[in-house]
Structures are given as C-alpha cells and as structure tokens.
C-alpha cells in the first residue's frame, strides 16, 4: 500500500494534481486543462490516479488555486490554502534559502518575497495579460511556432527586436508591424521575451526588493527564453525547479500532510468514488439585505454539498466549505 498526500491546484487554465510520498517526494503528477470546466478536470484527475494506482492510501488532501473552495468541497480537503502560501512552501522545500519567487502561469503572474523562510511581501498582476503564458501562446500561434520551441528560437537571436510590452494589445500590434517590415522571427520572439520580462518587473514586481536566491515557477518557467531574459535584466542566475509547473499543488500537499500528522487527524478525503457522482453548480443573488451577495451552490446527486459567497453566513453557516 502506497501512502500519499494529494495536492490539487485548480486554476483558470490548468488543474494540477500531485501525489507525494512520506518523504514529500513527487511520485505522480497531472497537468490537466481546466477548459472552463473545473469539476470535470478534477474528476478526470481522480480517475487517472485511481486507474494508475490500485494500492494507494490517501492520508491527506490539500487544495489551492482560484478554484480551491470548489475542489475542497468535491474531494474533502483537509487544508485549503491560497496560491501565495502554497507556492512559497513548495519553493522552500526545494531551496530553503530562496528569497524571491517569480511565478508566471497561464492567466496570472505573481511575485513572492521571502526573508528567513517567511513570506514578507507579494503582488499579483491585476489587469494586463501581457505578462502571462496565454499571451505567449497566442503569439506563438500567430507566428506559426510550437510554444515548446519558442524559447529555443529566441536564444538564436543576434539582434532582438524591440517590442512594446506594456499592454497585450500594443505588444501584439507592434509584433505584427515588425513582421511586416521584415524583422527575423527569432529576433521578434526574443523581443517578446524581453518585453514580457520588462512588463513583469515594471508592474508585478514594482517596488519589490528582488534578492538572490531567485526561483522561477509556473508553466512559463519552461520557456528558456523568458528565463534568460530575467537573468539578463536582474544580472544573476535563476533556478527553475524540476516540478516548476505544479509547485502550488506540491506546496498544499506538504501543508495537508503536516496538518494531518501534527493534529493526529483522519483525512476528510471522500475517496475516488466522488468521480461517479453527478454535480450541479448554480449561482443566485441573495436579496436579504443591501449587500446583494452572489451565492454559489453546489449539489452532488441532487443533495446540497455547500454554499458560499454570503457575508453574514445565512446560506453557508450550516454547510461545510
């Protein structure tokens, strides 16, 4: 019997699931497309784990990401944590002296500042998409280049093209213009990498004290062009961890395992049979007061599992979230 903790990170672009053994080592990981259907992605992940391992004991479960509440209800999580905490815990487990975490995912990016293994500051992008993975994916498609080759081509450039990177719309139009006047593809790609990094440092990292050791996480960390552009701008080496794409899931799995062991508790995990249920999610507006809270309700086989979104507890106080 394999004893594991399970970490689930539900984001707008991807749903990541990992299994850690008793030594907090990754023994299995899944990187799934959320595709606007987080419930289906989570259930697909559970089914894949169940099919792969027939003798597994899940002793702790943690959820994180923008869909962490939903995932918690569906699987029965022991710990629910935000992305900042989860990414920081995973980074510290990989490199205890890390002081700065650069994280760029499909739809958002963040910076986490640590001192003496404690998060002391952080920031996330709020408006512009020019510093995210989806922006790079879109430009790769426009250029007819597989995204996996994007970084390698960028590093072949000998004369990078200056791309306006403060806004996704301007960056795209500027890139098209540079194509039309004859700039080489590899020069444009390297220019895009530099533009994304400038955008990140000028907006997400604005006012932050970036100190070594620096770790680069999230799906975009696979892009060696972006990594090199960061190193050029910051003037130092940056570490990309082996499991850069699932660090949030790793962090929350570590936290879940620690919680269950420290508190000597039995896991709340509902089991792999959760994937056999029919789920329904709906939202409605509460008109009980001027707040007009938007309530989210989830049912499994017609039974209400949870409600959340109310400020006063009228709808959620008697239900687990």
Structural domains in the chain, sorted by start: 2-88+248-274 (3.30.420.40), 99-240 (3.30.420.40), 277-321 (no CATH)
Instruction: Answer whether residue 67 shows pLDDT above 70.
Output: yes
pLDDT tens digits, residue range 199-234? Answer: 889 888 999 999 999 999 998 898 999 999 999 999
Per-residue exposure over 289-321, b if at least 16 CB sit within 10 Å of its own CB, e if not: eeeebebbbbbbeeeebbbbbbeeeebbeeeee
**Residue 125: count of CB within 10 angstroms of its CB:** 20
E-state strands within 68-212: 79-80, 100-104, 109-115, 118-124
Q: Which residue has the higher pLDDT, 192 or 16?
A: 16
Burial class (CB in 10 A: 0-12, 13-18, 19+), 252: buried
CA atoms within 13 A on the CB side of 224: 8
At residue 27 the predicted structure's pLDDT band, cuts being 50, 70 and 90, is very high
With bands split at pLDDT 50, 70 and 90, how would you rate the model's confidence at 319? low
Report the C-alpha gap between 321 and 317 in whole angstroms.
9
CA–CA dist 142, 122 (Å, integer): 33
State mean pLDDT over 101-116: 90
């Amino acid at each position: 019997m394999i004893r594991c903790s399970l970490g689930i990170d539900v984001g707008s672009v991807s749903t990541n699931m990992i299994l850690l053994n008793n030594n907090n080592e990754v023994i299995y990981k899944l990187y799934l497309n959320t595709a606007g259907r987080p419930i289906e992605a989570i259930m697909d992940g559970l089914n894949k784990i169940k099919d792969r391992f027939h003798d597994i004991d899940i002793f702790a479960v943690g959820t994180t990401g923008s869909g962490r509440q939903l995932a918690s209800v569906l699987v029965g999580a022991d710990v629910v944590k935000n992305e900042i905490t989860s990414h920081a815990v995973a980074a510290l487990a990989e490199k205890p002296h890390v002081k700065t975490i650069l994280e760029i995912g499909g739809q958002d990016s963040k910076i986490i500042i640590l001192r003496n293994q404690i998060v002391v500051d952080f920031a996330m992008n709020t408006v512009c998409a020019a510093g995210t993975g989806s922006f790079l994916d879109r430009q790769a498609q426009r250029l007819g280049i597989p995204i996996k080759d994007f970084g390698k081509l960028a590093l072949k450039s000998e004369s990078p093209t200056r791309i306006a990177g403060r806004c996704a719309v301007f960056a795209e139009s500027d890139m098209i213009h540079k194509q039309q006047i004859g700039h080489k593809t590899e020069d444009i790609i390297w220019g895009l990498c530099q533009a994304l990094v400038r955008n990140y440092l000028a907006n997400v990292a604005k006012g932050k004290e970036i100190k070594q050791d620096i770790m680069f996480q999230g799906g975009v960390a696979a892009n060696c062009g972006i990594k090199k552009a960061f190193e050029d701008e910051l003037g130092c080496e940056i570490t990309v961890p082996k499991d850069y794409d699932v660090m949030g899931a790793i962090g929350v799995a570590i936290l879940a395992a620690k919680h269950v062991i420290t508190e000597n508790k039995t896991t709340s995990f509902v089991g792999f049979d959760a994937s056999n249920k029919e789920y329904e999610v709906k939202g409605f507006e509460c008109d009980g007061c001027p707040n007009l809270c938007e309530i989210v309700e989830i049912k499994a086989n017609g039974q209400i599992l949870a409600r959340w979104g109310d400020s006063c507890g009228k709808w959620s106080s008697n239900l687990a979230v």
